[in-house]
Amino acid sequence: MKILLVGYGKMGQVIDTIARQRGHDVVGVVDVTGDLTIANAPPADVAIEFTHPESAVENIRSCAARNLPVVVGTTGWIHRLPEVKALTAKNDATVFYSSNFSLGVNIFFKLNEHLARLMNGLPGYDISIDETHHTQKKDAPSGTAITLAEGIIKNHLQKKKWRLDEAETPTDLVIRSHRVDPVPGTHVVSYESVIDSIEIRHTAHSREGFATGAVLVAEWILDKKGLLTMDDFLQIG
């Protein structure tokens, strides 16, 4: 499989290594430090995009224009999802996006939703999320924390929307963001009452889990069309 890497930061470099270990060819790297663009890059079977929130949608658009399937790992652009849905449909494109490609994190998402359903209706518990990442992570809260919050809001009637750092009403779900080097990523969902505390936690020990997941998805989407997510890939309840 021929892979075009869009972005060559820490994640892009790990993806490069994992892809080559799995027998794939990295035919080009589109990065701010070079002259290569998505439009003039060598032919590829798939692009893997890990850049910045402000450039992700334009990178998706450029891949769609080339009929190049793209795996998008950049977070912080989800408010533009309707735009991406429209351009995917218009171009009959293949776009796969996820806030986190770690298989363990996606199991954690399901566990989080199940716990929210179990806790729904139990009085006296307040819910919060803490996420900790390295200082080079630009967006806050993390896309993973937002996905966790959305899973809680969908399954727990007490919380209606998430807010960063501080609640304005009891129905707000607080996400606290911490930036500490060299943490790849830790997420903690807490249920606190005067009687006890319940926590579930996911801690990433390295970037290899994210990178491996992204490459596995790239292998999977080659014969797919449309806007796809980890739910499509994993097919778990």
Catalytic residues: 133, 137
Q: At how many degrees (to 10) do helices 143-155 and 103-119 cross? A: 30
How far is Cα 110 from Cα 131, in angstroms, rounded to an integer? 17
How far is Cα 31 from Cα 162, in angstroms, rounded to an integer? 33
Tokens of 231: 């739910």
For residue 70, CA distances in Å to 27, 63, 225 come to 15, 7, 11
Q: What would you measure as the largest C-alpha separation in the chain, in angstroms?
A: 61
User: Sign of the CA dihedral 209, 85, 161, 153?
Assistant: negative
Alpha carbon distance, N-terminus to C-terminus of the chain? 30
Consecutive H or E run containing 70? strand 70-72
How far is Cα 119 from Cα 64, in angstroms, rounded to an integer? 42
Phi, psi of 136 (to 5 degrees): -85, -10
Tokens of 137: 């992570």
